[in-house]
């Protein structure tokens, strides 16, 4: 496999490179790294470039690209920058596969660039599907490409669907949610949550944005929308159940009420590797599952009252059109403001809901329309925060 990796310096990106290292050591599935991309972390990208010897790197920020070029004068490597550079890396000529693990809506254009260049696409960047699902799925259909999910829940569903061609006889998808660090908390307690508390996830070690999304349950709302697009399933047929141990990664319920679940230790290297080696399964660095040592697995209804984001996302998806893009854009802005301590934890669902409701549910005909809805939602959130 010849891989272009976007978001190489992040949580998913660095774990992808670990997986690649393992696959190459094992020898059964050699992977060469053709291109790497990040936003600004030139130092780490340099170490990665020296180890994996890509033909190109992209650093979104121009100053970082310049810094990288200075550091690597001894390497024969193309250095790209800006959105154009990111898209060029996504569609890099010698790559056959692109794994997109940048965080946020900024991943939409590179996703489309990879699809239009007919690359096999492994997708971690869920915001891409939430905001631009209609465009992304249509581009994939036109180019005859499948999208391989990296997100653990979607990888689980994808695995549970193997042996069911075309997803026939599927009744429901059931996503599991860890419930995050504040499971069981009441609104009064949630009001005073600080970023340091929200950044502590019980089961997964992830980037800051998705960790906050897990604490608000926005992540599960985004994942319901992501699943709706990936598997062509109406949100009415996507259930959510809280499962504190993060062992059952998601499930598929069939017409005969049989439920197929995928289980494993909470370790992203497993879904990352499956997206790369599909349909093959190879040895993985993730630990073996010892069910007897765990003793029991627990399941609960999600708390939809105190964690509003889940239903806000489902409502946005039901309204359709650009409402999900607005919800996503508002959330990205609100999470940033929360991390900067300029708004409170409970302002996040309020602002996401307000922005989604303000957005007319017109179906986007172009990327520009998605970007515009995203920008309008962010601006509205910033204006609201300024009034606080
Ligand atoms: P991180 O914050 O750890 O990493 C984000 C990566 O994206 C970094 O490499 C960052 O570069 C890069 N990036 C950010 N902005 C840009 C930009 N404008 N141009 C180019 N690169 C950019 O995030 P995660 O790895 O946690 O998450 C990545 C995506 O995967 C998200 O969409 C998330 O929802 C999804 N996901 C993550 C999971 C996890 O376990 N972490 C699980 C399931 C899904 P730099 O370092 O230079 O800033
Ligand atoms: Mg997930």
Look at residue 168 in the predicted model and tell me its pLDDT. Answer: 81
Mean pLDDT of 156-170: 89
Ligand 1, atom nearest to 40 Cα: 47
101 C-beta closer than 6 A to ligand 1: yes
- Residue 184 phi, psi (nearest 5): 90, -5
Look at residue 205 in the predicted model and tell me its pLDDT. Answer: 85
Task: Indicate the Cα dihedral angle 26, 31, 32, 35, nearest 10°.
Answer: -130
Q: Name the pLDDT band for 203 (thresholds 50, 70, 90).
A: confident
Look at residue 349 in the predicted model and tell me its pLDDT. Answer: 98
Look at residue 382 in the predicted model and tell me its pLDDT. Answer: 97
Per the CB < 8 A criterion, the answer to whether 95 and 119 are in contact is yes
Q: How many residues does the chain have?
A: 388
Per-residue pLDDT of 361-374, as tens digits, reads 888 889 999 999 99
What is the CA(219)–ligand 2 centre distance, in A?
7
Q: Name the pLDDT band for 167 (thresholds 50, 70, 90).
A: confident
pLDDT at 289 over 90: yes
Looking at the DSSP assignment, which residues form a beta bridge with residue 388?
Answer: none
Return the SS3 of 40.
coil
Per the CB < 8 A criterion, the answer to whether 181 and 215 are in contact is yes
Look at residue 388 in the predicted model and tell me its pLDDT. Answer: 63
What is the CA(151)–ligand 2 centre distance, in A?
5
40 C-beta closer than 6 A to ligand 1: yes
Q: Name the pLDDT band for 223 (thresholds 50, 70, 90).
A: very high
Ligand 1, atom nearest to 127 Cα: 32
Mean pLDDT of 133-145: 97
pLDDT over 90 percentage in the chain: 94
- What pTM did the predictor assign? 0.97
Per the CB < 8 A criterion, the answer to whether 310 and 240 are in contact is yes
Return the SS3 of 334.
helix
- Whole-angstrom distance, CA of residue 303 vs CA of residue 179: 9
The domains found in the chain, sorted by start residue, are 2-150 (3.40.50.720), 152-266+284-308 (no CATH), 320-388 (1.10.1740.10)
> How do strand 56-59 and strand 78-81 relate by DSSP bridges?
parallel
**What token pair was written down for 79?**
């250095």
Q: Name the pLDDT band for 142 (thresholds 50, 70, 90).
A: very high
Mean pLDDT of 97-101: 98
Look at residue 291 in the predicted model and tell me its pLDDT. Answer: 97
Per-residue pLDDT of 250-283, as tens digits, reads 999 999 999 999 999 999 999 999 999 999 999 9
Q: Name the pLDDT band for 204 (thresholds 50, 70, 90).
A: confident
42 C-beta closer than 6 A to ligand 1: no
250 C-beta closer than 6 A to ligand 1: no
pLDDT at 160 over 70: yes
pLDDT at 33 over 80: yes
> How do strand 97-100 and strand 2-6 relate by DSSP bridges?
parallel
**Rounded mean pLDDT of the chain?**
96
**What token pair was written down for 337?**
């403001």
Q: What is the phi-psi region of residue 65: left when phi exceeds 0, alpha when psi lies from -120 to 50, beta otherwise?
A: alpha
- Whole-angstrom distance, CA of residue 29 vs CA of residue 147: 20
What is the CA(39)–ligand 1 centre distance, in A?
9
């Amino acid at each position: 496999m010849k891989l272009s990796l976007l978001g190489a310096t992040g949580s998913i990106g660095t774990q992808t490179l670990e997986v690649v290292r393992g696959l190459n050591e094992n020898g059964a599935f050699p992977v060469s790294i053709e291109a790497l991309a990040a936003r600004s972390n030139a130092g780490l990208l340099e170490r990665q470039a020296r180890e994996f010897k890509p033909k190109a790197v992209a650093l979104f920020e121009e100053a970082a690209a310049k810094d990288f070029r200075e550091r690597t004068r001894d390497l024969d490597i193309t250095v790209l920058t800006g959105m154009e550079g990111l898209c060029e890396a996504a569609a890099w000529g010698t790559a056959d596969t692109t794994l997109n693990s940048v965080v946020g809506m900024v991943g939409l254009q590179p996703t489309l660039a990879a699809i239009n260049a007919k690359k096999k696409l492994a997708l971690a960047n869920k915001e891409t599907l939430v905001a631009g699902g209609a465009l992304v799925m249509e581009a994939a259909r036109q180019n005859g490409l499948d999208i391989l999910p990296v997100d653990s829940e979607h990888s689980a569903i994808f695995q549970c669907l193997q042996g069911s061609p075309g997803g026939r006889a599927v009744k429901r998808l059931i996503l599991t949610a860890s419930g995050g660090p504040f499971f069981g908390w009441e609104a009064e307690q949630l009001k005073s949550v600080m970023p340091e508390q929200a950044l502590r996830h019980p089961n997964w070690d992830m980037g800051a944005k998705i960790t906050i999304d897990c604490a608000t349950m926005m992540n599960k709302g985004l994942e319901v929308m992501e699943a709706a697009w990936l598997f062509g399933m109406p949100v009415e047929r996507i259930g959510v159940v809280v499962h504190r141990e993060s062992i059952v990664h998601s499930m598929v319920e069939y017409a005969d009420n049989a439920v197929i679940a995928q289980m494993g230790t909470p370790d992203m290297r497993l879904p990352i590797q499956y997206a790369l080696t599909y349909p093959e399964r190879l040895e993985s660095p993730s630990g073996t599952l010892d069910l007897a040592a765990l003793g029991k697995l627990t399941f609960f209804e999600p708390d939809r009252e105190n964690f509003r984001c889940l239903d806000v996302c489902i409502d946005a998806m039901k309204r359709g059109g650009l409402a999900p893009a607005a919800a996503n854009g508002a959330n990205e802005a609100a999470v940033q403001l929360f991390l900067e301590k300029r708004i409170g934890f409970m302002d996040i669902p309020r602002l996401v809901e307000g922005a989604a409701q303000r957005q007319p549910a017109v179906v986007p005909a172009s990327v520009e329309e998605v970007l515009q809805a995203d920008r309008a939602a962010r601006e509205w959130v910033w204006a609201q925060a300024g009034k606080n």
